[in-house]
Amino acid sequence: MTDNQIWVRGVAMTAFAKRSTDGFAEMSQKALVAAVDNAGLTLNDIDELVCGTGYGGPLAGQRIAGPLGLTGPRITNVENACSSGLAALAIGMEAISSGRARTVAVVGVDRLSDMGRGALPLAQDDIEVRQGVIMPAVYAMRARRYLEETGATIEDIAKVSVKSRRYGSLNPLAQMRNEVTLEEVLGSRPVATPLTLLMCCPRGDGAAVAIISADAPGEARPGVVIKGLSVQSGRFTDGYRDMTRSELSERTASAAYKSAGLTPADIQVVETHDAFAIAELMYYESLGFAEFGRGWELIRDGATELDGRVAVNPSGGLMSRGHPVAATGVAQICEAYWQVAGDAGEHQVSGVTNVLTHCTGGGIAGFDHGASGVAIVGRA
Amino acid sequence: MTDNQIWVRGVAMTAFAKRSTDGFAEMSQKALVAAVDNAGLTLNDIDELVCGTGYGGPLAGQRIAGPLGLTGPRITNVENACSSGLAALAIGMEAISSGRARTVAVVGVDRLSDMGRGALPLAQDDIEVRQGVIMPAVYAMRARRYLEETGATIEDIAKVSVKSRRYGSLNPLAQMRNEVTLEEVLGSRPVATPLTLLMCCPRGDGAAVAIISADAPGEARPGVVIKGLSVQSGRFTDGYRDMTRSELSERTASAAYKSAGLTPADIQVVETHDAFAIAELMYYESLGFAEFGRGWELIRDGATELDGRVAVNPSGGLMSRGHPVAATGVAQICEAYWQVAGDAGEHQVSGVTNVLTHCTGGGIAGFDHGASGVAIVGRA
Output the domain CATH number for residue B5.
Answer: 3.40.47.10
Q: Tell me the residues of chain B between 175 and 194 that have a Cβ less than 8 Å away from chain A.
A: none
Q: What is the mean pLDDT of residues B254-280?
A: 98
Whether B361 contacts chain A with CB within 8 A:
yes
* pLDDT greater than 50 at residue B352: yes
The two beta strands, B48-52 and B103-111, are parallel
B228 touches chain A (CB under 8 A): no
Of the pLDDT bands very low, low, confident and very high (cuts 50, 70, 90), residue A129 is confident
Distances (CA, A) of A191 to A135, A296, B65: 11, 21, 32
pLDDT band at A132 (very low <50, low <70, confident <90, very high): confident
Within a domain: residue A73? yes
Option in B57, B59, B367 nearest A62 (CB): B367
> Is the CB of B233 less than 8 angstroms away from the CB of A62?
yes
CB-count burial class (<10 Å; 0-12, 13-18, 19+) for A5: middle
Query: Is B130 at the interface with chain A, CB within 8 A?
Result: no
| Closest to B233 measured CA to CA, from A256, A77, A374 | A77
Q: How far is B138 from chain A (nearest CA, A)?
A: 18
Return the percentage of chain A with pLDDT > 90, whole number: 82
Identity of the residue numbered B376: I
Residue of B77, B121, B362 with shortest CB distance to A79: B77
Binned at pLDDT 50, 70 and 90, residue B2 comes out as very low
* Mean of pLDDT values over A340-361: 97
Flag whether A36 is in a domain: yes
When pLDDT is cut at 50, 70 and 90, the band that residue B173 belongs to is: very high
Residues 70-129 of B with CB under 8 A from A: 71-81, 87, 90-91, 94-95, 97-98, 121-123
Does residue B50 sit at the A interface (CB-CB below 8 Å)?
A: no
d(CA B106, CA B13): 12
> Is A369 within 8 Å of B91 when comparing Cβ atoms?
no
Record: contact A80-B81, CB cut-off 8 A:
no
Please tell me whether the interface predicted TM-score (ipTM) of this complex is above 0.95.
no
Distance from CA of A76 to the nearest CA of B (A): 7
Residue with the bigger pLDDT between A273 and B121: it is A273
Residue B123 in any domain: the answer is no
The three-state (H, E, C) secondary structure of chain B, written as one string: CHHHCCEEEEEEECCCECCCCCCHHHHHHHHHHHHHHHCCCCHHHCCEEEEECCCCCCCHHHHHHHHHCCCCCEEEEEEECECHHHHHHHHHHHHHHCCCCCEEEEEEEEEHHHHCCCCCCCCCCCHHHHCCCCHHHHHHHHHHHHHHHCCCCHHHHHHHHHHHHHHHCCCCCCCCCCCCCHHHHHHCCEEECCEEHHHECCCCEEEEEEEEECCCCCCCCCCEEEEEEEEEEECCCCCCCCCCCCHHHHHHHHHHHHHHCCCHHHCCEEECCCCEHHHHHHHHHHCCCCCCCCCHHHHHHCCCCCCCCCEECCCCHHHHHCCCHHHHHHHHHHHHHHHHHCCCHHHCCCCCCEEEEEEEEECCCCCCCEEEEEEEEEEC
Backbone angles phi, psi at B72, to 5 degrees: -95, -50
pLDDT in tens, B140-160: 999 999 999 999 999 999 999
Give the burial string for B317-331 (b: 16+ CB within 10 Å, else e). Answer: bbbbbbbbbbbbbbb
Tell me if A71 and B231 make a contact (CB, 8 A cut-off): no
The type of residue at A43 is L
Cα end-to-end distance, chain A, whole Å: 10
> Residues of B with CB below 8 A from A67's CB?
368
**Is the minimum CB–CB distance between A369 and chain B shorter than 8 Å?**
yes
Dist. CA A44–CA A18, nearest whole Å: 32
CA of residue A103 relative to chain centroid, distance: 22
- One-letter identity of residue B9: R
B327 reaches A (C-beta below 8 A): no
**pLDDT the model gives residue A3:** 57
CB A38 within 8 A of CB A217: no
Does any CB of chain A come closer than 8 Å to the CB of residue B246?
no
At A21-44, the pLDDT tens digits run 999 999 999 999 999 999 999 999
pLDDT band at B128 (very low <50, low <70, confident <90, very high): confident
Higher-pLDDT residue of A5, B72: A5
Report the mean per-residue pLDDT for chain A.
93
With contacts defined as CB-CB under 8 Å, which chain A residues touch B234? Answer: 71-72
Within A169-203, where are the H helices? Answer: 182-187
Predicted local confidence at residue A223, as pLDDT: 95
For residue A357, the model assigns a pLDDT of 98
> What is the SS3 assignment for A247?
helix
- Measured in whole angstroms, the distance separating CA A134 from the mean position of its chain's CA atoms is 20
Is B371 part of any domain? Answer: yes
From chain A, the residues in CB contact with B59 under 8 A are 79-81, 361-362, 367, 369-371
Residue A57 has pLDDT above 80, yes or no: yes
Window 52-81 of B: residues touching A by CB (8 A cutoff) are: 54, 57-63, 65-67, 71-81
- Give CA–CA dist B228/A81, Å, rounded: 31
Quick one: how far is CA A286 from the chain centroid?
15
Kindly state the average pLDDT of the residues A229-233: 95
CB B282 within 8 A of CB B245: yes
* B78, closest residue in chain A (CA to CA): A78
When pLDDT is averaged across residues A212-216 and rounded to a whole number, the result is 97
Contacts of A218 (CB under 8 A, 6+ apart): A40
Give the model's pLDDT for residue B243.
Answer: 85
Tens digits of residue pLDDT in B214-247 = 999 999 899 999 999 999 998 887 766 788 899 9
Confidence (pLDDT) at B48: 97
Of the candidates B82, B201, B334, B359, the residue annotated as catalytic is B82
Chain B CB contacts of A80 under 8 Å are 59, 75-77
The Cα of B190 is separated from the nearest Cα of chain A by a number of Å equal to 28
Query: Which amino acid belongs to residue B326?
Result: A
Query: For residue B91, what is the nearest residue in chain A, using CA coordinates?
Result: A91
Q: Do A62 and B123 touch (CB under 8 A)?
A: no
Residue A134 sits at the chain B interface (C-beta within 8 Å): no
Nearest to A103 by CA among A73, A148, A78: A73
**Model confidence over B176-210: pLDDT tens digits?**
999 999 999 999 999 999 999 999 999 999 999 99
Does the pLDDT value for residue B268 go beyond 80? yes
Residue A120 has pLDDT above 70, yes or no: no
Q: What is the DSSP letter of A240?
A: S
* Count of structural domains, chain B: 1
Please indicate, yes or no, if residue A198 is contained in any of the structural domains: no
Reduced to 3 states (helix: H, G, I; strand: E, B; else coil), residue A368 is coil
Quickly state the pLDDT bin for A2 (edges 50, 70, 90).
very low
- Residues of A annotated catalytic, as ranges: 82
Does residue B159 belong to any structural domain of this protein? yes
Per-residue model confidence as pLDDT tens digits over A135-149: 899 899 999 999 999
Q: Which of A57, A67, A98 sits opposite B368 (nearest CB)?
A: A67
Residue A348 DSSP symbol: P
**Nearest chain A CA: its distance from B235 CA (Å):** 6
> How many Å apart are CA B359 and CA B33, to the nearest integer?
25
**What confidence tier does B1 reach under pLDDT thresholds 50, 70, 90?**
very low
CB atoms within 10 A of CB B202: 18
Average pLDDT, chain B: 93
Confidence of residue A4 (pLDDT cuts 50, 70, 90): confident
pLDDT, average across residues A221-232: 96
User: A24, A62, A64: which to substitute to probe chain B, counting the most B Cβ within 10 Å?
Assistant: A62
Q: Please report the pLDDT score of residue A121 as a whole number.
A: 57
| A98/B94 Cβ within 8 A | yes
Flag if A59 and B91 touch (Cβ within 8 Å). no
Which percentage of chain A shows pLDDT scores above 70?
Answer: 94
Average pLDDT over residues A363-372: 72
pLDDT tens for B42-92 read: 999 999 999 999 999 889 999 999 889 898 899 999 999 899 999 999 999
Task: Let me know: does B49 contact B107? Beta carbons within 8 Å.
Answer: yes
Q: B166 and B72 in contact (C-beta within 8 Å)?
A: no
CA distance A111 to chain B (A): 15
Q: How far apart are CA A212 and CA A114, in angstroms?
A: 29
CB burial of residue B261 (10 Å; 0-12, 13-18, 19+): exposed
Query: Which residue of B55, B63, B71, B110 to mutate against A (max A Cβ within 10 Å)?
Result: B71
Count H helices and E strands in chain A, helices first.
Answer: 12, 12
Strands A48-52 vs A103-111: parallel, antiparallel or unpaired? parallel
Q: A242: pLDDT confidence band, cut at 50, 70 and 90?
A: confident
* Amino acid present at B55: Y
Domain that holds residue A65: 2-116+203-213
Are B336 and B250 contacting, i.e. CB atoms less than 8 angstroms apart? Answer: no
For the cut 70, the answer to whether the pLDDT of residue A1 exceeds it is no
Taking residues B320-332, report their average pLDDT.
98
